[in-house]
Amino acid sequence: MPPLNGITSGTEIRKPWIEYFKVSGLSHQGMVREDNQDSLLIFKNKSFLFCAICDGMGGAPGGKLASEITVEVLKNNLEQSTETNGPSLVNLVIDSVKQANDQILSYSLNNSNSHNMGTTFCGALFFDTSLHIFNVGDSRLYRIRQNKIQPLTEDHTLVNDLIKSGLLNPSDPHAQALSHILTRSVGPAATLMVDNYCLPDGPVAGDYYLLCSDGLYNMVLAEEILQVVRSHEPGEASKKLIEMANSRGGLDNISVIVIKVESSFPVGQSDIELTKDPNGVRGYVPAQVVDDIYTPIISDYLQKIEKSSKSPRNLFLVSTLSFVAVGILFLISEALFFSDLWVKSASIEPVGVNVNTFSVPDNLAGADKALRLAFLQSRLKNLYGQLEMLKVSTNMTYDEIAANIARHKEMYAQQLERNMQELNKVSAELKIWKSRKARLQVDDLTSLARELSFDAVIRDKLKVFEEASWNYLNNVSNQEVVDKLFKARTIAEDDLKNTIERFVEQQLSQLEKKQNFLILEGNLFRGKISELNQQEQFYVNLKNQEESSRRQLEERIANEILTIEAELKTLNK
């Protein structure tokens, strides 16, 4: 195993320990990175245990500073707090992360070399007999109970959002290339949503909990994590897991916190009603040496809308497919909506427009219930976005807003350029494979097979065909065997041709799928740039408005939201 040079332990407050918990945290820069942008926090006193991992992004020194700021703000606020009840502590953690978000954003705006700096944040608060979970980004919290490992957090990544929206299959080969793109992180935007919930079935005696950055779970299988944690004390388990990640390349910073719930904990397995573990746990996928990138692609408000409607979103999509034009528009509106405050809606309401009365366009008046629901959901998302923009406009100067919009436009322009380069490459490959498909009908089969002999199956089939051909040619004058050899050659020829046809079709299918994905991705980026231009115009119009006009606009939008939410509830009964 490689030496653990550069290991640092988690920040720990030396107060009397809670007797029920053993905890240890380690962080390592890995075998490739020149510095460690991860930060840990372990805070323990008589009342509670709080652990957190932050994985910085944006390159050195921005990512390292962002993670350090977040941990330092949390540490200081917890040290100074006198809170002794769970809800107050939860609010303290969330407020601290948002305070860190403001500090990181302010630093980023004032330092041109630190634009887009940010950090993930994953935290666990053990209080009394409950566990409160916090998450922003793609660092993770796992629970190990008996002989099962279960992720307790959801990654805020472009891949995960595209999968949930139905635009990407989890097994798609493009998923890994996009896995480092975050849709939510601490620092890049003025507003922040922190996932938070109380674990419904634990902790219980004998549990283990593990927080980690992606430098661990991208290199070590979940089942391997399970075995290491269950067979070692927390300190040794942390060290062993980092050694495993480094032995497989250590392509990223690696941070681990292991928490063991002692058998003396007052809540046992029989005291709770177990919930079923979700099917499947993410395993090892070879990682790339790339920094995480923050990009606000799919809207966080999608979750709010889904909560207001009990019917599954996929039902709406399926129902609207029969209405081709409207269905396509709805799918695009779903895909083009994303979480950052700068890009909250696909259309901007001009200041002063009367939105008190909600009406359905004539072309939707006679549509079915599914179309009505889809339209209302899309409209509701736009309104939530406008409310958020009004809120932001009161907390930041116009110059700050304009600078942030400009940064995001530049980021999307760069992503679009890379997208177009890849699309041109795929389109060129498609032309080659389409020509190969056409050659199957008119060209010499042997020459095409030799061209494709880099595939082992085709190479073997070609060898069989060539041997059958030579056997036939060498015995063409032998009437006793010529018919049998000719038949064998024909069978080998058909087998070779069918194999090539399947291989060519497979390549065409993969390339066409990749092309369609790149077209969709390019459209997403173009949509973001267009929406950012609209957002920019929104703030230009809003800049000189009186405060009373802003309040009136906010009230009108809020009233329409209430009207739509009421109708959604009625339609879903």
- Domains of the chain, each with CATH number or no CATH: 8-265+284-294 (3.60.40.10), 301-417+545-571 (no CATH), 419-518 (no CATH)
Which ranges in 128-233 belong to alpha helices (H)? 158-164, 174-177, 214-217, 222-231
pLDDT at 21: 92
d(CA 256, CA 51): 11
Is there a cis peptide before residue 350, judged by omega within 30 degrees of 0?
no
Angle between the N-to-C axes of helices 398-442 and 482-543, in degrees from 0 to 180, rounded to the nearest 10 = 160
Name the DSSP class of 128: T
Assign 264 to helix, strand or coil: coil
Task: Write the CA distances from 259 to 125, 146, 229, 232, 267, integer angstroms.
Answer: 11, 15, 9, 11, 16
Assign 313 to helix, strand or coil: helix
Burial class (CB in 10 A: 0-12, 13-18, 19+), 479: exposed
d(CA 454, CA 391): 59
Which backbone phi and psi does 433 adopt, to 5 degrees?
-70, -30
d(CA 188, CA 194): 14
Task: Write the CA distances from 443 to 437, 439, 440, 449, integer angstroms.
Answer: 10, 5, 6, 11
pLDDT at 385: 67
d(CA 243, CA 23): 18
Q: What is the mean pLDDT of each run of 10 residues along the chain (573 residues)?
A: 42 54 95 91 91 86 92 95 87 95 87 83 93 96 95 89 71 69 86 89 92 95 96 96 93 95 87 52 46 54 39 36 31 34 31 32 48 73 69 66 80 86 90 86 78 90 87 78 86 91 90 85 82 74 64 77 81 72
pLDDT at 522: 84
pLDDT at 134: 97
Which backbone phi and psi does 24 adopt, to 5 degrees?
-150, 140
